[in-house]
């Protein structure tokens, strides 16, 4: 039986950030068919930072500990910082992993990267073009400065301060309200 550090055991016995982010901005799923480990990461992004991250893991104790550690390391980081998380960094933060379990730390970093890539792809829209996602029908439309969604025809209202489209029924911009709350 492999020898695990106290940190690995703690993250296995008391995993952090388990579950699914509601209405995630990005989703990443990876698996290793040889060992059977599967990881699904969901993220919420605000102001270029990972504001929330959750995961579901099917696998061994090391896979669960890795998912927990990756979620902690990613939370609050910028997307660029989170992309730099490597299997070695994850294993180091856990106090090491047995050589036959290093693939688990690779899966955790890969699943997070997949979620970030999914988010970035959605932000670019079809064929990498910049645009806007309609807050009513969730469809991408090219004319980000227009006042009508080309998909559903809804009239789009934009925040005067930050320029982001306002969600359906919103009386104030959730992005600006969050910035004011954090600044206070």
Pairing of strands 38-46, 132-133: unpaired
Contact 111, 29 (CB under 8 A): yes
Asked if the model's pLDDT at residue 126 lies above 70, the reply is no
Task: Determine the average pLDDT of the residues in 163-174.
Answer: 73
Residue 48, classified by CB atoms within 10 Å of its CB into exposed (0-12), middle (13-18) or buried (19+), is exposed
By the 8 A CB rule, do 136 and 168 touch?
Answer: yes
The tokens describing 174, both together, are: 């959730």
| Sign of torsion over alpha carbons 120, 17, 23, 175 | negative
d(CA 46, CA 76): 9
Domain boundaries, the chain: 6-124, 131-184
| Separation in Å, CA 90 to CA 62, 66, 94, 127, 167 | 11, 7, 6, 33, 37
Q: What's the pLDDT score for residue 104?
A: 65
- Residue 74 corresponds to which tokens in the numbers above? 């990613």
Please report the pLDDT score of residue 127 as a whole number.
53
* 134 touches 122 (CB < 8 A): no
Tens-place pLDDT, residues 20-61: 999 898 999 998 767 778 999 999 999 899 999 999 999 888
Band of residue 87 on the pLDDT scale cut at 50, 70, 90:
confident
To the query of whether residue 104 is one of the catalytic residues in this protein, the response is yes
Among 35, 60, 159, 176, which one carries the catalytic annotation? 35
35 is catalytic: yes
Looking at CATH, the fold of the domain delimited by 6-124 is given as Sufe protein. Chain: A (3.90.1010)
Rounded-to-integer distance, Cα 121 and Cα 104, Å: 26
Q: Distance between CA 94 and CA 111 in Å, rounded?
A: 18
């Amino acid at each position: 039986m492999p020898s695990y550090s106290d940190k690995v055991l703690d993250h296995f016995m008391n995993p952090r950030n388990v579950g699914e982010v509601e209405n995630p901005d990005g989703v990443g799923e990876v698996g290793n068919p040889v060992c059977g480990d599967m990881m699904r990461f969901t993220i919420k992004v605000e102001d270029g930072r990972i504001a929330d991250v959750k995961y579901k893991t099917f696998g061994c104790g090391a896979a669960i500990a890795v998912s927990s550690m990756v979620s902690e390391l990613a939370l609050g980081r910028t997307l660029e910082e989170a992309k730099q998380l490597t299997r070695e960094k994850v294993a180091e933060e856990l106090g090491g992993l047995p050589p036959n379990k290093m693939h688990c730390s690779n899966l955790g970093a890969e699943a997070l990267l997949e979620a970030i890539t999914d988010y970035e792809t959605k932000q670019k829209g079809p064929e990498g073009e910049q645009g806007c996602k309609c807050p009513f029908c969730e469809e991408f439309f090219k004319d980000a400065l227009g006042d009508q969604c080309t998909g559903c025809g809804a009239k789009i209202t934009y925040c005067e301060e930050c320029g982001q489209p306002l969600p359906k029924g919103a009386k104030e911009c959730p992005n600006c309200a969050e910035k004011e709350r954090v600044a206070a």
